[in-house]
Structure 1
Amino acid sequence: MACRRPTPPSPSLAPAPVPPLEDDDLLEEILLRLPPQPSSLLRASLVSKRWRGLVKLRRFLRLFRARHGSLPLLAVFPGEVDMSHPFFTPSLDPPDRVPTARFPMPLAPLAFPLVLDCRHSHALVLNRRVSQLLVWDPVTVDKHPVDLPPAFKGRQVMLHNGSVLCAGAAAAEGRLHGSCNSSPFKVVLLASGRTHERSFSVCVYSSQTGAWGDVISAEFQPAAMEPLYTASELYMYVPSTLVGSSIYWLLRGNGDTIVEFDMDSRTLAVIEMPLDLYDHGISSSFMTMPAQDGGLGLILVNDFYAKLWKRGADCNGVAIWVPGITIQLDKLLSLNAEHNRGLLSLLGFAEDSNAFVVGASRIGIFVVYLNPLRFKKIYERRDLCIFHPFESFCVAGI
């Protein structure tokens, strides 16, 4: 007796598979993997009404930001506001380029605004007219005025610098900050007495409590501060660096000093500069930075080259500065060092993008990315100042 093959089920009885792009969960997973550039979701929203409805959902945007840990470098803000130049200088090319008018200065010129810091999608601006801080999210346009702590007011106190960061930054190193827009934040201020420049004080503000914490102070011996500086010669324009739970400020003057504040242990420390730092010439400019493989780093620009260091330890466990790579900027930027007037200066550092801002008034302003090594020219010509790179997610047209 011959065996009969089983009859396949009628196509009309088998459940029809759902096309991949008709499955909302699968479509969401696909769209979450789009690049973080501003135009990505705008292009997706033009496919259909259904796609546009999905990418406009707050839940989707929150997941999209959280998924991409590395924030795109949208632009740079000058530390000192110059009315002859735009406040917001875009760093991306079309179609990702954010219009200059998108992020206007949040304070009036008569406030004598000074940008102190940009981090985790927030900017910290000092209103020098009324001695008040403003924490500003340029993307969501949220503004939070914060009065200076009482101990940091008055002519006998010098406010050296300030930092802004996501409230969860100190809790877990390696945290992804893509969803920090409108999230709780902290402000950390560094000050000293004008007549007691060896003593530093720090105060931390939390948006969750709406209050400043206790003032933390420490006095350092002259040996840790040599060569001694004069407080009036310090300036607060150099951006701070966040590494793990510590904030680092570079103070410039007759002598240069790195001040560390550990937010976990709530302690202050002073870090000496590399011994060979000044071998590169008195015209050198330098800043702290996160080292590429973790820890504190330092970058110096002199003439037409950049030099990197990393804070490490010797065989006895003593902290030392370890020299790193040297970058020939004239070759990278295709500059003729013999014919260009004016030497390059280091003007800013972007932590998430691992990039630094460098320039000369007659050459232009560049953003140099370290990994992979490449550059982008953002200004043809302008007066030099400290720049604060602004890294955040910005969805164009949605």
Structure 2
Amino acid sequence: MPPPPPVPSLLDELLEEIFLRLPPGEPEHLARASLASKLWLGRLTGPRFRGRYRERHGPPPMLGFLHTWLEGCGPEGKDPVPDFTLTTKFGARVPDDDDCGYHKYDAWDCRHGRVLLGDENMLPIAVVVWDPMTGRRKDLPEPDLVNDSYGAAVLCAVPGCDHGACHAGPFEVVFVGLGMREDDGAGCVAQACVSLPDTGDWSMPCPIFDHHHWGEPCSGLHLEADAFVDRMPPVLVKEAVHFMLVYARDGHVEILKYDLRCSCLSLVDVPLVGPGIYGAAILMAMQDGSLGFAHVDGLTLYIWSREMDFNRAGSWSERTIIDLRNLLPIQNPEERLRLIGSVEGSDTVFVTTDLGIYEMNVKSQRWKEIWKSEEFRALIPYMSFYNPQERVMPCDAAH
């Protein structure tokens, strides 16, 4: 019979099991435990514990969110730092005012623990990637594709990463811009470039294809002249970034897809046609890995999912219909409901009513209020696991 393990080993295992059960959405518990002793700090920040913690709790929790305002609804004296609201006791390392200079940053996107900020009112346009966990920031040069309409996404650049705690590693930014055609001026052309992980410099505009002539290489994806990119953040689904594309003439929408594997742009249809779609619909990255489309009509929420068949042909199927009148607190049923964001990979949407902003899982139909009623244009969740060892002081953060 083998001898029993020493008592300290048993205590370490018991401590680890206790720490594993700390809720990921309450990072203050991990912070307090890490301050108790160097032993506990080492245990909580070690690769073994961090790996088990992510495996047990699944996707990172939402520690806070960023938001943008509807036109004319925001505060007059906007701070240079971005609008970041905490939903936990996590303390974001916000860049100092001196670091921001004269810029008035807006949040463009957030993914894999990083936030993409931009100031389009200054020339050249300021583009910054910010890590709220450590306060580190990286300034990028102005992209060559700056036009009247554009969209951008930030994501981890490490192949095969589980994105549990990769916010300090290499990243890339996808930038898509629409500009007028130089040949006849009868339409516009979409092009894309990607920042290089090591330097932050931009790649040349990628080879893309005219959607009217599939397979013919050309200098851009030709679109109608009234097309523009919606400023709602894009979604990442199966190594492709998806932007909402809107046509000003009649308000109909399409999806502009940038495929990271082949560095090409293409168009994807939407399950609804007709006026009234723009402003009432958002894109989603569903929990099953499919592209989702959410639309609210009156007090009813519709969710579609795009599936691929064996021939790689895509089609939309209606996933669920939810009567929000019987679910969310609504005082005035005549007040228009709006979808202002989603959580990638969790079937969760953010809905604003006359009484507040609610986080709702469309599968379980569980909801909770996360903020008072505000005229937000978009709500962008910040998802990350808390790591006490990475909480460096702002003056020590690398720029």
Taking structure 2 as the reference length, the TM-score comes to: 0.78
Q: Is the 8 A contact 2:45 2:388 kept in 1?
A: no
* Contact 1:71–1:352 (8 Å) recurs in 2: no
Match of 2:319 among 301, 320, 324: 324
Distance 1:392 1:131, change over 3 A: same
- In structure 1, runs of 5+ residues without a counterpart are 1-8
> Aligned partners of 1:62 and 1:206: how far apart in 2?
28
Matched, 1:376 2:368: yes
Match of 1:294 among 289, 311, 314: 289
Q: Deviations along 1:105-157, whole A, 9 cap, x unmatched?
A: 877594232211100000101122131210001111110000123x324xxx3
Q: Which residue of 2 aligns with 1:349?
A: 342
Per the alignment, do residues 183 and 354 of structure 1 end up closer, same or farther by CA in structure 2, a change over 3 Å counting?
A: farther
SS of 2:377 mapped into structure 1: coil
Mapping 1:77-88, distance limit 5 Å: 77-80=66-69, 82-83=74-75, 87-88=83-84
Which residue of 1 is the match for residue 299 of structure 2? 304
**Partner of residue 387, structure 1:** 379
Whichever residue aligns with residue 181 of structure 1, its letter is: H
Aligned residue pairs: how many?
A: 365
- What corresponds to 1:73 in structure 2? 62
Q: Which moved more, 1:135-144 or 1:368-377?
A: 368-377
Deviation of the 1:319 alpha carbon = 2.5
Mapped contact 2:207–2:263 kept (Cα < 8 A): no
Provide, for residues 81-113 of structure 1, a one-character-per-residue CA deviation record: whole Å limited to 9, x for no partner.
94479922223xxxx4336x7646877594232
Distance 2:337 2:285 in 1: 21
In structure 2, do the counterparts of structure 1 residues 191 and 349 end up closer, same or farther at CA, with 3 Å as the change threshold? same
* Superposition RMSD in Å: 3.6
Structure 2 counterpart of 1:329, which letter?
L
> 1:252 aligned to 2:249?
no
TM-score, length-scaled by structure 1: 0.78
**Which amino acid is the alignment partner of residue 115 of structure 1?**
A
CA contact (8 A) 1:71 1:353 kept: no
- Tell me which of 259, 263, 286 is aligned to 2:260: 263
Larger radius of gyration: 1
Is contact 2:24–2:61 with CA below 8 Å preserved after alignment?
Answer: yes
Query: How far did residue 248 of structure 1 move?
Result: 0.7
| Cα distance change, pair 102–267 in 1 and its aligned pair in 2 (3 A) | closer
| Structure 2 residue corresponding to 1:185, chosen from 171, 178, 181 | 171
1:52 is aligned to 40
Give the C-alpha shift of residue 26 in structure 1.
Answer: 6.4
Contact 1:239 1:349 in 2 (8 A): no
Q: Structure 2: which 5+ runs fail to align?
A: 215-220, 392-399
1:3 corresponds in structure 2 to none
Q: Alignment partner for residue 152 of structure 2, among 162, 180, 199? A: 162
Matches of residues 17-32 of structure 1 in structure 2 within 5 Å?
17-19=5-7, 22-24=10-12, 27-28=15-16, 31-32=19-20
1:369 offset after TM fit, Å? Answer: 2.1
Larger displacement relative to structure 2 (237-246 or 63-72): 63-72
Q: Determine if contact 2:177/2:190 at 8 Å carries over to the other structure.
A: yes
